[in-house]
Amino acid sequence: MAAINPYLVFNGNCEEAFLFYKSVFGGEFPYIGKFKDMPPAEGNPVLSEAEGNKTMHVTLPIGDGTILMGSDSNSASGEVAFGQNISLSINTASKDEADKLFNGLSAGGTVTMPMNQTFWGAYFGMFADKFGINWMVNFDENEK
């Protein structure tokens, strides 16, 4: 069955926020990546040094099976409005489950990134459902 975790987006202070959360919850970051770590891809904007140093993705396990995740916004995505900076991230057990949940939950909503293979080895997509809730669906093939 799918696991759902909170995903927080910040306007440049993601690392600061996650260091704070780590000081409260404890633990370690299994992953923290910067935008400059992304491989170049057609259509991706050239980032300034400041944007390249922003957090692209960070994870912090905070309990039994719960992972707090986050990133910074960048010039391509624009500033995030607080209240709209939280997504629910679904980690699925299979590609079929990812497609089923993505297609079902996104019906009547707005797809912002269709399900597709990513450079980090996952099958991933994003959307806002018809009620305005932001979702991310992820099947991590590297863990299987």
Written as tens digits, the pLDDT of the chain (144 aa) is: 678 999 999 999 999 999 999 998 999 999 999 988 887 766 666 778 898 899 999 999 997 889 999 999 987 778 888 878 899 999 999 999 999 999 999 999 999 999 999 988 899 999 999 988 899 999 997 654
Residue pair 109/93 in contact (Cβ under 8 Å)? The answer is no
In angstroms, rounded to a whole number, what is the distance separating the alpha carbons of residues 60 and 25? 9
